[in-house]
A and B are shown apart, each in its own frame.
Chain A
Protein backbone atom coordinates (compact mmCIF):
# COMPACT_ATOMS: atom_id res chain seq x y z
CA UNK A 1 0.00 0.00 0.00
CA UNK A 2 2.76 2.41 0.92
CA UNK A 3 4.32 2.20 -2.54
CA UNK A 4 1.52 4.26 -3.94
CA UNK A 5 1.67 7.05 -1.42
CA UNK A 6 5.17 8.19 -2.35
CA UNK A 7 5.62 11.21 -4.60
CA UNK A 8 6.67 10.70 -8.20
CA UNK A 9 8.84 13.71 -8.89
CA UNK A 10 7.40 17.21 -9.33
CA UNK A 11 3.83 16.42 -10.33
CA UNK A 12 1.45 16.11 -7.44
CA UNK A 13 0.47 12.48 -7.17
CA UNK A 14 -3.24 11.73 -6.77
CA UNK A 15 -2.41 9.70 -3.67
CA UNK A 16 -1.48 12.96 -1.93
CA UNK A 17 -5.04 14.16 -2.55
CA UNK A 18 -6.30 10.93 -1.08
CA UNK A 19 -4.07 11.43 1.95
CA UNK A 20 -5.30 15.02 2.41
CA UNK A 21 -8.89 13.85 2.30
CA UNK A 22 -8.15 10.93 4.61
CA UNK A 23 -6.62 13.31 7.15
CA UNK A 24 -9.85 15.26 7.47
CA UNK A 25 -11.71 12.14 8.65
CA UNK A 26 -11.14 12.26 12.41
CA UNK A 27 -12.36 8.75 13.15
CA UNK A 28 -10.13 7.30 10.46
CA UNK A 29 -7.07 9.14 11.76
CA UNK A 30 -7.69 7.95 15.32
CA UNK A 31 -8.31 4.45 13.98
CA UNK A 32 -5.13 4.49 11.91
CA UNK A 33 -3.07 5.75 14.86
CA UNK A 34 -4.53 3.09 17.12
CA UNK A 35 -3.99 0.33 14.59
CA UNK A 36 -0.36 1.33 14.06
CA UNK A 37 0.07 1.38 17.83
CA UNK A 38 -1.40 -2.12 18.17
CA UNK A 39 0.75 -3.49 15.36
CA UNK A 40 3.90 -1.95 16.85
CA UNK A 41 3.00 -3.17 20.33
CA UNK A 42 2.36 -6.76 19.36
CA UNK A 43 5.37 -7.08 17.05
CA UNK A 44 7.95 -5.13 19.06
CA UNK A 45 6.42 -5.50 22.52
CA UNK A 46 7.49 -9.13 23.15
CA UNK A 47 11.12 -8.05 22.52
CA UNK A 48 10.92 -5.36 25.18
CA UNK A 49 8.64 -6.93 27.78
CA UNK A 50 10.93 -9.08 29.97
CA UNK A 51 8.51 -11.94 30.80
CA UNK A 52 8.07 -14.69 28.25
CA UNK A 53 4.48 -15.59 27.27
CA UNK A 54 5.03 -19.28 28.01
CA UNK A 55 6.97 -18.82 31.27
CA UNK A 56 5.12 -20.64 34.07
CA UNK A 57 5.49 -19.22 37.57
CA UNK A 58 3.07 -21.39 39.50
CA UNK A 59 3.61 -19.48 42.78
CA UNK A 60 2.34 -16.29 41.20
CA UNK A 61 -0.86 -17.76 39.73
CA UNK A 62 -4.21 -15.97 39.60
CA UNK A 63 -2.74 -12.61 40.58
CA UNK A 64 -4.54 -9.33 40.12
CA UNK A 65 -3.19 -6.20 38.53
CA UNK A 66 0.22 -5.07 39.72
CA UNK A 67 3.34 -3.33 38.36
CA UNK A 68 5.05 -6.67 37.81
CA UNK A 69 2.03 -8.05 35.96
CA UNK A 70 -0.02 -5.12 34.56
CA UNK A 71 -2.85 -7.42 33.41
CA UNK A 72 -2.43 -10.03 36.14
CA UNK A 73 -1.51 -13.70 35.71
CA UNK A 74 -3.50 -16.76 34.71
CA UNK A 75 -4.17 -20.05 36.48
CA UNK A 76 -0.63 -21.29 35.69
CA UNK A 77 1.05 -18.04 36.67
CA UNK A 78 1.76 -16.96 33.12
CA UNK A 79 1.87 -13.20 32.64
CA UNK A 80 -1.33 -12.10 30.91
CA UNK A 81 0.23 -8.97 29.43
CA UNK A 82 2.94 -11.02 27.72
CA UNK A 83 0.31 -13.47 26.48
CA UNK A 84 -1.81 -10.62 25.16
CA UNK A 85 1.16 -9.26 23.18
CA UNK A 86 2.07 -12.69 21.86
CA UNK A 87 -1.57 -13.50 21.10
CA UNK A 88 -2.03 -10.19 19.34
CA UNK A 89 0.97 -11.00 17.19
CA UNK A 90 -0.74 -14.16 15.95
CA UNK A 91 -4.15 -12.53 15.58
CA UNK A 92 -2.83 -9.55 13.63
CA UNK A 93 -0.55 -11.77 11.54
CA UNK A 94 -3.47 -14.05 10.69
CA UNK A 95 -5.58 -11.01 9.85
CA UNK A 96 -2.96 -9.51 7.52
CA UNK A 97 -1.96 -12.70 5.72
CA UNK A 98 -5.51 -13.98 5.31
CA UNK A 99 -6.51 -10.57 3.96
CA UNK A 100 -3.60 -10.65 1.52
CA UNK A 101 -4.56 -14.13 0.33
CA UNK A 102 -8.21 -13.27 -0.12
CA UNK A 103 -7.25 -10.06 -1.96
CA UNK A 104 -4.98 -11.90 -4.36
CA UNK A 105 -7.61 -14.54 -5.10
CA UNK A 106 -10.46 -12.03 -5.24
CA UNK A 107 -8.63 -9.51 -7.43
CA UNK A 108 -7.34 -12.25 -9.69
CA UNK A 109 -10.74 -13.77 -10.27
CA UNK A 110 -12.41 -10.36 -10.52
CA UNK A 111 -9.95 -9.05 -13.11
CA UNK A 112 -10.01 -12.25 -15.16
CA UNK A 113 -13.80 -12.38 -15.13
CA UNK A 114 -14.15 -8.72 -16.01
CA UNK A 115 -11.46 -8.59 -18.66
CA UNK A 116 -11.89 -11.87 -20.52
CA UNK A 117 -15.44 -12.29 -21.70
CA UNK A 118 -15.10 -16.05 -22.08
CA UNK A 119 -14.13 -16.53 -18.44
CA UNK A 120 -16.84 -14.25 -17.09
CA UNK A 121 -19.67 -16.78 -16.98
CA UNK A 122 -17.82 -19.72 -15.42
CA UNK A 123 -15.89 -17.60 -12.91
CA UNK A 124 -18.97 -15.75 -11.74
CA UNK A 125 -20.94 -19.00 -11.36
CA UNK A 126 -17.99 -20.23 -9.32
CA UNK A 127 -18.18 -17.10 -7.15
CA UNK A 128 -21.93 -17.56 -6.71
CA UNK A 129 -21.35 -21.14 -5.65
CA UNK A 130 -18.89 -20.02 -3.00
CA UNK A 131 -21.34 -17.37 -1.82
CA UNK A 132 -23.97 -20.07 -1.35
CA UNK A 133 -21.75 -22.24 0.83
CA UNK A 134 -22.46 -22.17 4.56
CA UNK A 135 -19.06 -20.80 5.49
CA UNK A 136 -18.77 -21.09 9.26
CA UNK A 137 -19.87 -24.76 9.41
CA UNK A 138 -17.54 -25.58 6.53
CA UNK A 139 -14.64 -23.74 8.18
CA UNK A 140 -15.17 -25.80 11.32
CA UNK A 141 -15.32 -29.03 9.35
CA UNK A 142 -12.22 -28.23 7.27
CA UNK A 143 -10.20 -27.33 10.36
CA UNK A 144 -11.25 -30.48 12.14
CA UNK A 145 -10.28 -32.61 9.15
CA UNK A 146 -6.94 -31.10 8.25
CA UNK A 147 -5.66 -29.98 11.62
CA UNK A 148 -3.77 -33.13 12.43
CA UNK A 149 -2.20 -33.86 9.01
CA UNK A 150 -0.95 -30.27 8.70
CA UNK A 151 0.38 -30.27 12.25
CA UNK A 152 2.31 -33.40 11.47
CA UNK A 153 3.64 -31.83 8.29
CA UNK A 154 4.70 -28.35 9.44
CA UNK A 155 4.84 -28.61 13.22
CA UNK A 156 2.03 -27.70 15.62
CA UNK A 157 2.25 -23.91 15.29
CA UNK A 158 3.06 -23.33 11.64
CA UNK A 159 0.65 -26.05 10.58
CA UNK A 160 -2.38 -24.55 12.26
CA UNK A 161 -1.34 -21.04 11.16
CA UNK A 162 -1.18 -22.10 7.51
CA UNK A 163 -4.49 -23.92 7.83
CA UNK A 164 -6.36 -21.03 9.41
CA UNK A 165 -4.94 -18.40 7.06
CA UNK A 166 -5.76 -20.62 4.11
CA UNK A 167 -9.34 -21.40 5.09
CA UNK A 168 -10.13 -17.78 5.97
CA UNK A 169 -8.48 -16.59 2.76
CA UNK A 170 -10.34 -18.94 0.44
CA UNK A 171 -13.71 -18.27 2.03
CA UNK A 172 -13.67 -14.47 2.00
CA UNK A 173 -12.60 -13.42 -1.50
CA UNK A 174 -16.05 -13.37 -3.13
CA UNK A 175 -17.07 -9.79 -2.36
CA UNK A 176 -13.74 -8.45 -3.62
CA UNK A 177 -14.05 -10.47 -6.81
CA UNK A 178 -17.54 -9.12 -7.50
CA UNK A 179 -16.61 -5.49 -6.87
CA UNK A 180 -13.41 -5.71 -8.91
CA UNK A 181 -15.21 -7.41 -11.79
CA UNK A 182 -17.81 -4.66 -11.88
CA UNK A 183 -15.14 -1.96 -11.95
CA UNK A 184 -13.11 -3.75 -14.62
CA UNK A 185 -16.18 -4.10 -16.81
CA UNK A 186 -16.76 -0.35 -16.58
CA UNK A 187 -13.07 0.46 -17.15
CA UNK A 188 -12.89 -1.69 -20.26
CA UNK A 189 -15.24 0.68 -22.08
CA UNK A 190 -13.10 3.75 -21.38
CA UNK A 191 -11.11 5.52 -24.11
CA UNK A 192 -7.66 5.05 -22.57
CA UNK A 193 -8.14 1.30 -22.66
CA UNK A 194 -9.18 1.51 -26.28
CA UNK A 195 -6.13 3.68 -27.00
CA UNK A 196 -3.83 1.25 -25.27
CA UNK A 197 -5.32 -1.62 -27.18
CA UNK A 198 -5.03 0.20 -30.49
CA UNK A 199 -1.26 0.41 -30.10
CA UNK A 200 -1.18 -3.34 -29.55
CA UNK A 201 -0.71 -3.65 -25.82
CA UNK A 202 -0.79 -7.33 -24.88
CA UNK A 203 -3.37 -8.46 -22.34
CA UNK A 204 -1.04 -9.03 -19.42
CA UNK A 205 0.50 -5.57 -19.69
CA UNK A 206 -2.93 -4.08 -20.18
CA UNK A 207 -4.08 -5.60 -16.92
CA UNK A 208 -0.95 -4.75 -14.96
CA UNK A 209 -0.42 -1.21 -16.27
CA UNK A 210 -3.88 0.09 -17.04
CA UNK A 211 -6.55 -1.94 -15.30
CA UNK A 212 -5.05 -2.78 -11.90
CA UNK A 213 -3.93 0.73 -10.90
CA UNK A 214 -7.44 1.97 -11.63
CA UNK A 215 -9.20 -0.60 -9.47
CA UNK A 216 -6.89 0.07 -6.51
CA UNK A 217 -9.53 2.04 -4.58
CA UNK A 218 -12.12 -0.72 -4.11
CA UNK A 219 -9.31 -3.19 -3.47
CA UNK A 220 -7.90 -1.04 -0.68
CA UNK A 221 -11.30 -0.62 0.94
CA UNK A 222 -11.99 -4.33 0.83
CA UNK A 223 -8.49 -4.92 2.19
CA UNK A 224 -9.35 -3.08 5.39
CA UNK A 225 -12.67 -4.86 5.69
CA UNK A 226 -10.80 -8.12 5.02
CA UNK A 227 -8.46 -7.55 7.97
CA UNK A 228 -11.41 -6.96 10.31
CA UNK A 229 -13.23 -9.99 8.97
CA UNK A 230 -10.19 -12.25 9.27
CA UNK A 231 -9.43 -11.20 12.85
CA UNK A 232 -13.04 -11.82 13.88
CA UNK A 233 -13.21 -15.18 12.09
CA UNK A 234 -9.96 -16.37 13.65
CA UNK A 235 -11.14 -15.34 17.11
CA UNK A 236 -14.50 -17.03 16.52
CA UNK A 237 -12.77 -20.27 15.51
CA UNK A 238 -10.49 -20.13 18.53
CA UNK A 239 -13.50 -19.30 20.67
CA UNK A 240 -15.28 -22.43 19.46
CA UNK A 241 -12.19 -24.39 20.45
CA UNK A 242 -11.21 -25.19 16.85
CA UNK A 243 -8.47 -22.63 16.35
CA UNK A 244 -5.03 -22.37 17.84
CA UNK A 245 -4.05 -24.63 20.77
CA UNK A 246 -4.03 -23.22 24.28
CA UNK A 247 -0.25 -23.00 24.65
CA UNK A 248 -0.10 -20.90 21.50
CA UNK A 249 -2.23 -17.93 22.49
CA UNK A 250 -4.30 -15.72 20.24
CA UNK A 251 -6.83 -13.16 21.38
CA UNK A 252 -9.70 -15.49 20.59
CA UNK A 253 -8.05 -18.35 22.43
CA UNK A 254 -7.36 -16.17 25.48
CA UNK A 255 -11.00 -15.12 25.50
CA UNK A 256 -12.08 -18.75 25.25
CA UNK A 257 -9.78 -19.76 28.12
CA UNK A 258 -10.97 -16.78 30.13
CA UNK A 259 -14.63 -17.82 29.99
CA UNK A 260 -13.82 -20.75 32.30
CA UNK A 261 -12.91 -18.26 35.02
CA UNK A 262 -15.70 -15.85 34.22
CA UNK A 263 -17.08 -15.72 37.75
CA UNK A 264 -13.81 -15.26 39.62
CA UNK A 265 -11.68 -13.26 37.18
CA UNK A 266 -13.88 -11.43 34.67
CA UNK A 267 -10.94 -9.24 33.60
CA UNK A 268 -9.39 -12.22 31.80
CA UNK A 269 -12.24 -12.07 29.31
CA UNK A 270 -12.14 -8.31 29.17
CA UNK A 271 -8.54 -7.82 27.95
CA UNK A 272 -8.64 -10.01 24.82
CA UNK A 273 -12.22 -9.01 24.07
CA UNK A 274 -11.33 -5.33 24.25
CA UNK A 275 -8.26 -5.92 22.11
CA UNK A 276 -10.26 -7.67 19.39
CA UNK A 277 -13.08 -5.14 19.46
CA UNK A 278 -10.85 -2.07 19.45
CA UNK A 279 -8.62 -3.41 16.68
CA UNK A 280 -11.61 -4.28 14.52
CA UNK A 281 -13.24 -0.95 15.31
CA UNK A 282 -10.10 0.95 14.33
CA UNK A 283 -9.76 -1.05 11.12
CA UNK A 284 -13.41 -0.38 10.26
CA UNK A 285 -12.89 3.35 10.83
CA UNK A 286 -9.83 3.26 8.55
CA UNK A 287 -11.98 1.57 5.93
CA UNK A 288 -14.66 4.24 6.34
CA UNK A 289 -12.10 7.01 5.92
CA UNK A 290 -10.47 5.32 2.95
CA UNK A 291 -13.81 4.90 1.21
CA UNK A 292 -14.49 8.62 1.55
CA UNK A 293 -10.94 9.57 0.61
CA UNK A 294 -10.86 7.37 -2.48
CA UNK A 295 -14.21 8.59 -3.77
CA UNK A 296 -13.37 11.41 -6.21
CA UNK A 297 -16.88 12.83 -5.89
CA UNK A 298 -16.34 13.57 -2.21
CA UNK A 299 -12.64 14.45 -2.48
CA UNK A 300 -11.84 18.13 -2.70
CA UNK A 301 -15.20 19.21 -1.36
Chain B
Protein backbone atom coordinates (compact mmCIF):
# COMPACT_ATOMS: atom_id res chain seq x y z
CA UNK B 1 0.00 0.00 0.00
CA UNK B 2 1.17 3.44 -0.85
CA UNK B 3 1.66 4.99 2.51
CA UNK B 4 5.37 5.29 2.85
CA UNK B 5 7.68 7.99 1.81
CA UNK B 6 11.41 8.29 1.88
CA UNK B 7 13.33 8.22 5.07
CA UNK B 8 14.39 11.46 6.65
CA UNK B 9 17.97 10.87 5.72
CA UNK B 10 17.06 10.81 2.07
CA UNK B 11 14.85 13.87 2.40
CA UNK B 12 17.71 15.93 3.69
CA UNK B 13 19.93 15.22 0.72
CA UNK B 14 21.77 18.25 -0.59
CA UNK B 15 20.12 19.95 -3.51
CA UNK B 16 21.28 18.62 -6.85
CA UNK B 17 21.26 20.32 -10.23
CA UNK B 18 18.95 23.25 -10.77
CA UNK B 19 16.05 21.40 -12.38
CA UNK B 20 14.14 24.60 -12.98
CA UNK B 21 17.02 26.01 -15.02
CA UNK B 22 17.33 22.78 -17.02
CA UNK B 23 13.64 22.88 -17.79
CA UNK B 24 13.99 26.46 -19.01
CA UNK B 25 16.84 25.34 -21.27
CA UNK B 26 14.64 22.64 -22.75
CA UNK B 27 11.98 25.22 -23.45
CA UNK B 28 14.19 27.95 -24.84
CA UNK B 29 16.78 25.89 -26.75
CA UNK B 30 15.23 22.47 -27.28
CA UNK B 31 18.22 21.30 -25.32
CA UNK B 32 18.28 17.51 -25.50
CA UNK B 33 21.09 17.13 -22.98
CA UNK B 34 19.05 19.10 -20.45
CA UNK B 35 16.03 16.97 -21.32
CA UNK B 36 18.09 13.83 -20.80
CA UNK B 37 19.20 15.03 -17.38
CA UNK B 38 15.59 15.79 -16.40
CA UNK B 39 14.47 12.44 -17.76
CA UNK B 40 17.12 10.56 -15.80
CA UNK B 41 16.15 12.34 -12.60
CA UNK B 42 12.36 12.56 -12.85
CA UNK B 43 11.73 9.42 -14.92
CA UNK B 44 12.52 6.93 -12.12
CA UNK B 45 10.65 9.12 -9.62
CA UNK B 46 7.61 9.25 -11.88
CA UNK B 47 7.69 5.51 -12.38
CA UNK B 48 8.00 4.97 -8.63
CA UNK B 49 5.14 7.37 -8.01
CA UNK B 50 2.88 5.61 -10.53
CA UNK B 51 3.73 2.15 -9.25
CA UNK B 52 3.00 3.19 -5.68
CA UNK B 53 -0.47 4.17 -6.74
CA UNK B 54 -1.00 0.68 -8.09
CA UNK B 55 -3.34 -0.24 -10.89
CA UNK B 56 -0.62 -0.04 -13.52
CA UNK B 57 1.91 -2.61 -14.61
CA UNK B 58 5.58 -1.59 -14.77
CA UNK B 59 5.44 -1.45 -18.59
CA UNK B 60 2.39 0.78 -18.43
CA UNK B 61 4.12 2.97 -15.89
CA UNK B 62 6.98 3.40 -18.35
CA UNK B 63 4.55 4.21 -21.10
CA UNK B 64 3.13 6.91 -18.85
CA UNK B 65 6.60 8.20 -17.95
CA UNK B 66 7.38 8.43 -21.65
CA UNK B 67 4.13 10.19 -22.46
CA UNK B 68 4.65 12.59 -19.57
CA UNK B 69 8.20 13.41 -20.64
CA UNK B 70 7.15 13.98 -24.25
CA UNK B 71 4.57 16.46 -22.98
CA UNK B 72 7.26 18.07 -20.86
CA UNK B 73 9.37 18.54 -24.00
CA UNK B 74 6.45 19.99 -25.92
CA UNK B 75 5.19 22.25 -23.14
CA UNK B 76 8.56 23.39 -21.81
CA UNK B 77 8.45 26.70 -23.73
CA UNK B 78 5.51 27.74 -21.53
CA UNK B 79 7.26 26.75 -18.31
CA UNK B 80 7.97 29.70 -16.03
CA UNK B 81 10.23 29.01 -13.04
CA UNK B 82 8.68 31.98 -11.24
CA UNK B 83 5.34 30.17 -11.38
CA UNK B 84 6.28 26.67 -10.34
CA UNK B 85 9.21 24.52 -9.36
CA UNK B 86 10.12 21.86 -11.93
CA UNK B 87 8.87 19.15 -9.55
CA UNK B 88 5.45 20.80 -9.17
CA UNK B 89 5.15 21.31 -12.91
CA UNK B 90 6.16 17.71 -13.59
CA UNK B 91 3.64 16.51 -11.05
CA UNK B 92 0.76 18.34 -12.73
CA UNK B 93 1.73 17.05 -16.18
CA UNK B 94 2.08 13.49 -14.89
CA UNK B 95 -1.25 13.73 -13.09
CA UNK B 96 -3.00 14.95 -16.25
CA UNK B 97 -1.32 12.30 -18.35
CA UNK B 98 -2.52 9.59 -15.99
CA UNK B 99 -6.08 11.00 -15.99
CA UNK B 100 -6.18 10.82 -19.78
CA UNK B 101 -4.61 7.39 -19.83
CA UNK B 102 -7.12 6.03 -17.33
CA UNK B 103 -10.03 7.56 -19.18
CA UNK B 104 -8.78 6.23 -22.48
CA UNK B 105 -8.49 2.74 -21.06
CA UNK B 106 -11.69 2.86 -19.03
CA UNK B 107 -14.12 3.88 -21.70
CA UNK B 108 -13.02 3.32 -25.22
CA UNK B 109 -14.80 5.24 -27.95
CA UNK B 110 -16.41 7.47 -25.42
CA UNK B 111 -17.22 10.83 -26.92
CA UNK B 112 -15.48 12.86 -24.24
CA UNK B 113 -12.23 11.29 -25.37
CA UNK B 114 -11.86 14.40 -27.46
CA UNK B 115 -11.45 16.37 -24.30
CA UNK B 116 -8.09 15.82 -22.65
CA UNK B 117 -7.06 16.75 -19.15
CA UNK B 118 -4.77 19.50 -20.27
CA UNK B 119 -7.78 21.33 -21.66
CA UNK B 120 -9.27 21.36 -18.20
CA UNK B 121 -6.16 21.69 -16.09
CA UNK B 122 -4.02 24.53 -17.19
CA UNK B 123 -0.69 24.15 -15.45
CA UNK B 124 -0.02 27.83 -15.80
CA UNK B 125 -3.40 28.92 -14.54
CA UNK B 126 -3.12 26.81 -11.46
CA UNK B 127 -0.73 29.36 -10.13
CA UNK B 128 -1.63 32.63 -8.49
CA UNK B 129 -0.08 36.06 -8.25
CA UNK B 130 1.55 34.94 -5.01
CA UNK B 131 2.94 31.77 -6.47
CA UNK B 132 6.62 32.64 -6.52
CA UNK B 133 6.53 33.47 -2.85
CA UNK B 134 4.36 30.59 -1.68
CA UNK B 135 6.24 28.12 -3.84
CA UNK B 136 9.40 28.55 -1.82
CA UNK B 137 7.66 28.87 1.51
CA UNK B 138 5.32 25.95 0.96
CA UNK B 139 7.94 23.60 -0.38
CA UNK B 140 10.17 24.07 2.65
CA UNK B 141 7.23 23.80 5.05
CA UNK B 142 6.14 20.59 3.37
CA UNK B 143 9.61 19.08 3.49
CA UNK B 144 9.96 20.06 7.11
CA UNK B 145 6.66 18.65 8.32
CA UNK B 146 5.78 15.77 5.98
CA UNK B 147 7.59 13.18 8.02
CA UNK B 148 6.09 14.29 11.29
CA UNK B 149 2.51 13.91 10.09
CA UNK B 150 0.57 11.26 11.99
CA UNK B 151 0.54 8.04 9.99
CA UNK B 152 -3.22 8.14 9.43
CA UNK B 153 -3.00 11.62 7.87
CA UNK B 154 -0.03 10.73 5.73
CA UNK B 155 -1.78 7.57 4.59
CA UNK B 156 -4.85 9.46 3.35
CA UNK B 157 -2.76 12.08 1.55
CA UNK B 158 -0.44 9.60 -0.13
CA UNK B 159 -3.33 7.37 -1.18
CA UNK B 160 -5.01 10.35 -2.80
CA UNK B 161 -1.90 11.61 -4.56
CA UNK B 162 -0.27 8.35 -5.56
CA UNK B 163 -3.50 6.85 -6.82
CA UNK B 164 -5.03 10.04 -8.17
CA UNK B 165 -8.11 9.42 -6.11
CA UNK B 166 -10.77 11.53 -4.45
CA UNK B 167 -11.40 11.64 -0.72
CA UNK B 168 -14.55 9.60 -1.26
CA UNK B 169 -12.66 6.86 -3.09
CA UNK B 170 -10.06 6.71 -0.35
CA UNK B 171 -12.80 6.60 2.30
CA UNK B 172 -14.34 3.63 0.46
CA UNK B 173 -10.98 1.92 0.15
CA UNK B 174 -10.16 2.30 3.84
CA UNK B 175 -13.76 1.66 4.87
CA UNK B 176 -13.90 4.83 6.95
CA UNK B 177 -16.40 7.70 6.75
CA UNK B 178 -15.75 10.49 4.25
CA UNK B 179 -15.88 12.92 7.17
CA UNK B 180 -12.87 11.20 8.69
CA UNK B 181 -10.91 11.48 5.46
CA UNK B 182 -11.84 15.14 5.16
CA UNK B 183 -10.71 15.95 8.66
CA UNK B 184 -7.43 14.06 8.19
CA UNK B 185 -6.75 15.95 4.99
CA UNK B 186 -7.59 19.24 6.62
CA UNK B 187 -5.41 18.57 9.65
CA UNK B 188 -2.54 17.44 7.45
CA UNK B 189 -2.75 20.54 5.27
CA UNK B 190 -2.77 22.69 8.38
CA UNK B 191 0.33 20.95 9.70
CA UNK B 192 2.03 21.44 6.36
CA UNK B 193 0.95 25.08 6.59
CA UNK B 194 -0.83 24.91 3.26
CA UNK B 195 -3.63 27.27 2.54
CA UNK B 196 -7.06 25.70 2.59
CA UNK B 197 -10.22 26.79 0.82
CA UNK B 198 -11.60 30.18 1.88
CA UNK B 199 -14.81 28.32 2.60
CA UNK B 200 -13.21 25.98 5.07
CA UNK B 201 -14.23 22.39 4.90
CA UNK B 202 -17.85 22.00 5.80
CA UNK B 203 -19.75 23.77 3.07
CA UNK B 204 -20.24 21.63 0.02
CA UNK B 205 -20.73 24.02 -2.82
CA UNK B 206 -19.93 21.78 -5.70
CA UNK B 207 -21.61 18.57 -4.72
CA UNK B 208 -21.06 16.12 -7.50
Chain A partners chain B: no
Q: Which residues of A contact B (CB under 8 A)?
A: none
